[in-house]
Amino acid sequence: MNSIYFDHAATTPMHPAAIEAYVEAASAGPSNPSSLHAAGRAARERISAARDAIAELLGCSPAEIVFTGSGTESDNSALFGAARAQRERGRTGIVTTAVEHHAVLNACRRLEAEGFALTVLPVDKYGRVSLEDAETAIGDDTAVVSVMAGNNETGTLQPIAEIGELARRRKALMHVDAVQAFGYLPLNLRELPIDLLSVSAHKINGPQGVGLLYVRRGTPWLPLLHGGSQERSRRAGTENVAGIAAFAAAADVALKERASRWERAESVRAEALRQLSAQIGSGSFVVNGHPDDRLPHVLNVSFPGISSESMLMNLDLAGIAASGGSACNSGSLKPSHVLEAMNLPSDRIGSAVRFSFGLGNTIDQAEKMAKIIATISARYA
C-alpha cells in the first residue's frame, strides 16, 4: 500500500540538504563546542556558521539567536525569561490568545500561578484576534504579549505586526510563535516590531530536537536553563552540533524557496478542496479557519456526521496520514481548544480533520485522498 503523508504541520521529512549537513557534522567525530582543542573548535565553527546563515535569512544579528532543543523550549524560554525580567521592572501582565499552541498557553498559565495577571484574548469564527481587543488588553503594566503568526490547526494568520506596534507603544515585549509560519511568511526581524520569536527545525524539513529563540538586542530577558556558559550563558547545555548544522541547511532551502513552497502547498490544498467538492459535494464538508488570511499548507475540514476519530482511523487504514489537530494532543479524545475558541458548533468540532501539505506532496495525492474520503463517507451515509 502506497502511503500519503498529509501531516506536515506535525513534523516534516528531512530535506536531502539537511540530511547531508547532519551526516557531515555527525561524521566529523566527537565534538563538544565548549572544548578548547581542535575538535571542539571545529564544532564551534559549525555552530557559528549556522548562526550566521540563519541570522542573515531572518534579518537579524547572529548575536540575537539562541539555539534551543525545540519550539516548545523556545516558547517557554521567551515567556518565562521575558516575564520574569519585566517583573523586576514592575510589569506583571501577560496577554495571549485563546488559540495559541499549548507550549504558550500552558506556560502562560504557569506564569499566572506565579502571580502574573493573565489576559487571554478571544477570537472570531475564523480564529483571528481583534486589534481592538488587543489594544484594550495591552496596558502600561503588561510585561509580555504572545501571539502566534500562523495557527498550527487552522492556518489562520494573526496581525502580528499591528499587535507588535500596540505592544511597543505600551513598552511591553512582543513574542511571536512562528513555528508554523517560518518558511512561508516573510520575516524580516529588523523591520518587524517583534522582540522574541520562536522557531522549530523539524517543521521546515530539518531535524527534530532543534529550535531557536530570537531575542532582540536590549530586550529584558532571563535564561530559563542554568548551568554552563553555552550560547553566551543564555541556554545551558551542550549544543546539538549536527542538528544545528542541519537546521541551517533546511532554513536556507525553506527561505530561499519560500515563494515556490507557498505555491506548491497552495496548489495541493486547492486541489484537495476541488476534489472533495467533486467527490462528496460542497455541502458535505466545512473548511475551518480564515478563507484568505491563512497559511497555504494547512487545511482543517469538518465532515459532519463522521467523528474525527472514525475518519482518521479509516484514512490511516487506507494509507493516508492526517491529524485531528495539534500533534501534542495525539491519542487524546479532547476536542480542539482552537476550534472551541472559535465557537464552532459541536458537530463541526467533533468531526474536524487537519490535512497539512509539504515536501513530496502532489495534486494527484490530493485527488486520491478525496476519492478515499468519498468511500469512507458512503459508509456513514
Which residues participate in catalysis according to the annotation? 328
Question: Measured in whole angstroms, how far is the alpha carbon of residue 142 from the centre of its chain?
Answer: 24
Segment (H or E) for 363: helix 363-379
Beta pairing partners, 196 = 175, 215
Count of positions (residues) in the chain: 381
Question: Measured in whole angstroms, how far is the alpha carbon of residue 150 from the centre of its chain?
Answer: 7
Parallel, antiparallel, or unpaired for β 65-68 and 211-215? antiparallel
Distance CA 167, CA 157 (A): 18
All residues at 6 or more sequence positions from 83 whose CB lies less than 8 Å from its CB, including other chains: 94, 111, 116, 143, 144
Residue with cell 561524521: 27
List, edge to edge, every strand of the sheet that includes 352-356: 286-288, 298-302, 352-356
Residue with cell 478515499: 372
Parallel, antiparallel, or unpaired for β 298-302 and 142-146? unpaired
Distance CA 82, CA 14 (A): 32
C-alpha cell read off for 301? 475540514
Question: Which is nearest to 10 in space by CA: 126, 144, 179?
Answer: 179
Segment (H or E) for 301: strand 298-302
